[in-house]
Amino acid sequence: MSKVAIVMGSQSDWPTMQNAALMLKQLGVEYDAQVVSAHRTPELLTEFAVTAADKGIEVIIAGAGGAAHLPGMIAAHTHLPVFGVPVKSRTLNGLDSLLSIVQMPKGVAVGTLAIGDAGAANAGLMAAQIIALHDEAVRSAVQDFRRSQTQKVLSNQKLELP
């Protein structure tokens, strides 16, 4: 059963949001990914968010660009933790997405990640770290991943001039 749901406002967000999926896959966390648009499919958004907890979802990752109200609207409908990924927009490079997602008024929380690929990957990592609180296999996958990053830095210290 999928523990993490990845949703995004448009098919065009997938190249960014697949970084969350790749991270979850690497860490052995089952996920579902689908397009749910706050303004194009508002009924689907409500249905998704209201039923997510009963379906066994524990964490939601929501990516959107522009006037990115998807993460906040989902958070308004569920007690599950919601992580928002600002997708880089064509006109304002994602600053619009970031400000739309990060400035949640007090009382409804969205954990906002960085703009673009890094934010999506880190959203996957955050979700896995939450699942790791009660899942030993995921916990050791997260720890292995962190160790391998450290090792990569330590084993490549060559800083040569061109």
Q: Counting contacts by CB under 6 A, is residue 132 touching ligand RP5?
A: no
Provide the CA 21 distance to its chain's centre, in angstroms. Answer: 9
Q: Counting contacts by CB under 6 A, is residue 119 touching ligand RP5?
A: no
- Residue 72, phi then psi, degrees to nearest 5: -65, -40
The per-residue b/e assignment along 72-93, b for 16 or more CB within 10 angstroms, e otherwise, is: bbbbbbbeebbbbbbbbbeeee
Q: Counting contacts by CB under 6 A, is residue 72 touching ligand RP5?
A: no
Is there a binding annotation on residue 40? yes
Interaction residues for ligand RP5, span 29-58 (CB under 6 A) = 37
Q: Counting contacts by CB under 6 A, is residue 10 touching ligand RP5?
A: yes
Residues near ligand RP5 (CB under 6 A) are 8-10, 12-13, 37, 64-66, 87
Which residues are documented as binding site? 10, 13, 40
